[in-house]
Amino acid sequence: VFPQSFQTQFPTVSAEWLAAGILLVSVLVAIPISSVTIKIGVKQSMLAGLSAIAVCVGFALFKLSSMWVVGLVIIAGTAFGMVFSSQISFALRMMPPGRAGLGTGLYFGGIGAATAILSYLLQQWGHLGGTAGFGLTVGALCLASLNILTLKYPQRPVA
């Protein structure tokens, strides 16, 4: 939804290239952003990244200039980098050390299930409009935030 919304405002660049730009930025900021994750904590890093992604999706609903789109691609890439650099630590800290494989499997299995469900729903609905996409993003952010904030896990070092 996010790259397609920007693609309508930036017609010379395909949605695939915009998505690739977001992922490229997330790779470039992964190491610097991991130091921020260590300072603020895994939960806060996940929440900050997910919140920034939701804000970027919201801005994608507006007609923006090309410079704004580039700026939001950079912000979204940084936010995805923050989530990507936090997710393994988050999954591993939820389980006892001897069950790290289970924690990682459950985390990525959940991502796979959510992707499959969303893909199925998009096939049934056809195209998901920007407003509906933003609504789903905010709903998912609220559910993820509630889940992240209510989970209790032992405090262990991130690294």
In the chain, where the domains are located: 2-150
Please report, to the nearest 10 degrees, the dihedral formed by the alpha carbons of residues 23, 58, 1, 123 taken in order: 140
Q: What is the pTM of this model?
A: 0.74
Per-residue pLDDT of the chain (159 residues; tens, 9 = 90+): 566 666 666 677 787 888 899 999 999 998 999 889 889 988 888 889 988 988 888 887 777 788 888 898 899 999 999 998 888 887 787 778 788 888 888 888 988 988 898 788 777 776 666 677 777 777 877 877 777 777 666 555 554
Write down the CATH number for the domain with range 2-150.
Answer: 1.20.1250.20
Instruction: Round to whole Å and give the CA distance between 14 and 5.
Output: 11
Q: Exposure string (b/e) for 1-25, b if CB count within 10 Å is 16 or more?
A: bbbbbbbebbeebebeebbebbeeb
The count of C-alpha atoms lying within 13 angstroms of the C-alpha of 87, restricted to the half-sphere facing its C-beta, is 18
